[in-house]
């Protein structure tokens, strides 16, 4: 059970409208969303800072960044949601999905551009900074708007991991767990 009981139905109108835009038809809101939405202020800040819209990255690049960030931060809750909901659409193979948890940028599962994404996530989570060489490698593959999006995704999903960990959110039913 979450340390903060999630919002229950009937949902406030604004939250219900947001979920109608965000969730697949007929799907209940994620526990992450209903937990945050117990505070209208927290929900407003979360959704305003959210990167749930389409941005300058391909779905595949976006999911590699999110999956690696959530794996590296130990956030099995969010990793499982993204692997299940977006992994197939992003064309991620089982080996690549496992690599987001246990692999490296240079384990043979990634193109050069994708390896730069993995290395960027790792550098920012480990040192909170990119070296000139790491930034140059990322810039070889991604323009300025894409690089900003990459860093914002890492920061946002690091924050999601903190929320999930602080409030001990249980995995959504049926979502995958980290591979052994």
Q: So what's the pLDDT on residue 126?
A: 98
Is it true that the peptide bond before 10 is cis, omega within 30 degrees of 0?
A: yes
Read off the pLDDT of each residue in 133-139 and give the average, rounded to a whole number. 98
**Residue 71 neighbours by CB under 8 Å, 6+ apart:** 79, 100, 101, 178
**How many other β-carbons are positioned within 10 Å of the β-carbon of residue 1?**
8
pLDDT digits (tens, 9 = 90+) for 54-112: 789 999 999 999 999 999 999 999 999 999 999 999 999 999 999 999 999 999 999 99
Q: pLDDT over 90 for what percent of the chain?
A: 91
**Residue 166 neighbours by CB under 8 Å, 6+ apart:** 3
Give the pair of three-digit tokens for residue 89: 């659409």
Q: So what's the pLDDT on residue 124?
A: 98
Looking at domain 59-166, does it have CATH number 1.20.1290.10? yes
Assign 49 a pLDDT band (cuts: 50, 70, 90): confident
Q: Which sign, positive or negative, has the C-alpha torsion 14, 18, 19, 20?
A: positive
Integer CA distances (angstroms), 53 to 47, 108, 147, 149, in order: 11, 30, 16, 11
**How many other β-carbons are positioned within 10 Å of the β-carbon of residue 165?**
14
Please, are residues 87 and 115 in contact by the beta-carbon 8 Å criterion?
no
Q: So what's the pLDDT on residue 51?
A: 64
Residue 153 has pLDDT above 80, yes or no: yes
Q: pLDDT over 70 for what percent of the chain?
A: 97
In the block, residue with structure tokens 């960990």: 165
**Residue 160 neighbours by CB under 8 Å, 6+ apart:** 32, 70, 75, 78
pLDDT digits (tens, 9 = 90+) for 20-41: 998 999 999 999 999 999 999 9
Domain ranges for the chain: 13-49, 59-166
């Amino acid at each position: 059970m979450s340390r903060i009981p999630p919002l229950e139905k009937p949902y406030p109108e604004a939250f219900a409208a947001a979920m109608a835009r965000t969730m697949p038809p007929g799907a209940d809101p994620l526990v992450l969303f209903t937990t945050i939405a117990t505070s209208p202020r927290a929900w407003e800040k979360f959704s305003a800072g959210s990167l749930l819209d389409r941005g300058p990255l391909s779905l595949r690049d976006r999911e590699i960044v999110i999956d690696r960030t959530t794996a590296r931060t130990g956030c099995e809750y969010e990793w499982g949601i993204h692997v299940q909901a977006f992994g197939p659409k992003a064309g991620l193979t089982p080996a690549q999905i496992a690599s987001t948890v246990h692999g490296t940028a240079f384990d043979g599962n990634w193109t050069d551009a994708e390896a730069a994404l993995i290395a960027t996530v790792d550098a920012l989570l480990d040192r909170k900074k990119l070296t000139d060489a790491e930034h140059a490698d990322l810039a070889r593959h991604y323009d300025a708007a894409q690089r900003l999006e990459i860093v914002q995704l890492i920061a946002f999903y690091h924050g999601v991991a903190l929320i999930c960990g602080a409030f001990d959110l249980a995995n959504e039913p049926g979502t995958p767990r980290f591979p052994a």
